[in-house]
């Protein structure tokens, strides 16, 4: 019975982590899945979201569960600018050039943060952190994770709605389907791409803000999430926003179960093995077909 409850606990914890993975993955699904921009700075943007929220908290005392909204606004602008100033004007538009450019940006932002805030670990203390919600006598869920789960579900749904039902979201998907025909029907390709890129970056920033209360922050904290975000997008199927959401939840559960049975240190390795298996056996992703 204990084994059952510890597995159930791991699965529930996995869903709580997974909701944030879903948010990170949905941002990446928009950038990489729909727009086909290979963004190796995704985790760095998440880290910037964390530091922005942290900065707001330290300066004004604003609770991170509200502060993340300001931080995500800042990251949206940053993403918008990165697309407008750099990505759009690359003389050779190839995957590898995008990788090099975003790697360069990741180095710049990470080092800039290190120069500003130092390489030390920071943490904020919220009273919420010590609270747990008990379900029965065996299961307990950490309160900040529950709050971030709820916010991630709301914001993730919002992002899905935006991509599927607004003009800009439709235009972004139209560009993905046919980059030559979409300007012919009056879509301002670069504006739509810039907004979508900003939105994807903001998604990473929001996840960063929501992770702040439960994480130590340090300049390279985001690096682990970059590759995870790619894993989530490929797992969910390229171009599928809802696939990425489901894949994020799955990855969270898989990681927590791996930690339970094999140890925490194998969780990331299992992520990559799943990633390689999906790429080689079912390149269209586990959920649904390749749509764009």
Partner 1 sequence: MKRSELVIAAFCFAACLLVPLVVRADYNLQVLFRVFLFAAMGLAWNLVGGYTGQLSLGHAAYFGAGAYAMALLPPLGVPIWLALVMGIVAAVAFAALIGGVSFRLRGPYFVLATIAFAEVLRLVAKNLPNVTGGDVGTQVPSLFTHAISRSFYLAAVVLTAAAFGITVWVSRSKFGYYLMAIREDEDTALSVGVNTARVKLEALFLSAAITALGGALYGSLFLFIVPDQVLSLDISNEIAIVAMLGGAGTVLGPILGAVVLETASEIFKSVFHEAHLLIYGLLLVVVVMFLPEGIVGTVNSWLRRRRAALAAGARPQARRVSTP
Query: By the criterion CB under 8 A, which residues form the site for partner 1?
Result: 32, 36, 38, 86, 89-92, 95-97, 99-101, 103-108, 110-112, 114-115, 227, 230-231, 234, 263, 265-266, 268-269, 272-273, 275-276, 279-280, 283
Identify which of residues 58 and 279 has a Cβ nearer to partner 1 in the complex. Answer: 279
DSSP characters over 175-196: HHH-TTHHHHTT--HHHHHHHH
Identify which of residues 58 and 112 has a Cβ nearer to partner 1 in the complex. Answer: 112
Q: What are phi and psi of 106, to 5 degrees?
A: -60, -45
Minimum distance, C-beta of residue 193 to partner 1, in the bound complex (Å) = 17
If we measure between CA atoms, which residue out of 46, 5, 51, 4 comes closest to residue 26?
A: 46
Identify which of residues 108 and 130 has a Cβ nearer to partner 1 in the complex. Answer: 108
Q: What are the helix (H) ranges across the chain?
A: 2-28, 42-60, 64-81, 95-117, 143-165, 167-177, 181-184, 189-211, 223-236, 241-261, 267-281
Minimum distance, C-beta of residue 13 to partner 1, in the bound complex (Å) = 21
Identify which of residues 31 and 210 has a Cβ nearer to partner 1 in the complex. Answer: 31
The helix or strand, by DSSP H or E, that contains position 132, with its residue range, turns out to be strand 132-135
- Inter-CA distances, 8 with 173, 210, 256, Å: 38, 24, 10
Identify which of residues 57 and 80 has a Cβ nearer to partner 1 in the complex. Answer: 80
Minimum distance, C-beta of residue 84 to partner 1, in the bound complex (Å) = 13
Identify which of residues 30 and 231 has a Cβ nearer to partner 1 in the complex. Answer: 231
Identify which of residues 98 and 182 has a Cβ nearer to partner 1 in the complex. Answer: 98
Minimum distance, C-beta of residue 85 to partner 1, in the bound complex (Å) = 10
Q: What are phi and psi of 77, to 5 degrees?
A: -60, -40
Minimum distance, C-beta of residue 38 to partner 1, in the bound complex (Å) = 5
- Inter-CA distances, 209 with 61, 140, 212, Å: 14, 23, 5
What does the buried/exposed string (b/e) look like for 104-123 if buried means 16 or more CB atoms within 10 Å of the residue's CB? ebbeebbeebeeebeeeebe
Minimum distance, C-beta of residue 108 to partner 1, in the bound complex (Å) = 4
Minimum distance, C-beta of residue 23 to partner 1, in the bound complex (Å) = 21
């Amino acid at each position: 019975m204990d084994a059952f409850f510890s597995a159930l606990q791991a699965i529930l914890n996995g869903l709580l982590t997974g909701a944030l993975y879903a948010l990170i993955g949905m941002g990446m699904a928009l950038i990489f899945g729909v727009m086909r921009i290979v963004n190796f700075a995704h985790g760095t943007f998440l880290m910037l979201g964390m530091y922005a929220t942290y900065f707001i908290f330290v300066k004004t005392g604003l609770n991170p569960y509200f502060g993340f909204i300001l931080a995500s606004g800042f990251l949206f602008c940053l993403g918008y600018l990165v697309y407008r100033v750099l990505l759009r004007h690359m003389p050779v538009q190839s995957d590898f050039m995008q990788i090099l450019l975003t790697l360069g940006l990741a180095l710049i932002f990470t080092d800039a943060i290190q120069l500003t805030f130092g390489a030390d670990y920071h943490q904020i203390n919220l009273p919420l952190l010590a609270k747990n919600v008990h379900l029965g006598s065996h299961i307990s869920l950490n309160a900040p994770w529950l709050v971030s789960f709820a916010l991630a579900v709301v914001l993730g749904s919002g992002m899905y709605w935006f991509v599927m039902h607004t003009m800009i979201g439709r235009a972004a998907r139209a560009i993905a389907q046919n980059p030559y025909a979409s300007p012919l029907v009056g879509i301002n390709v670069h504006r739509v791409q810039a907004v979508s890129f900003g939105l994807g970056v903001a998604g990473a920033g929001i996840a960063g803000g929501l992770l702040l209360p439960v994480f130590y922050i340090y300049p390279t904290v985001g690096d682990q999430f970059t590759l995870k975000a790619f894993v989530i997008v490929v797992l969910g199927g390229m171009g599928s926003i809802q696939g990425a959401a489901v894949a994020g939840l799955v990855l969270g559960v898989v990681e927590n179960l791996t930690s339970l049975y094999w140890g925490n240190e194998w969780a990331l390795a299992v992520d990559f093995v799943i990633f390689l298996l999906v790429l080689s056996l079912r390149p269209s992703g586990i959920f649904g077909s390749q749509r764009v």
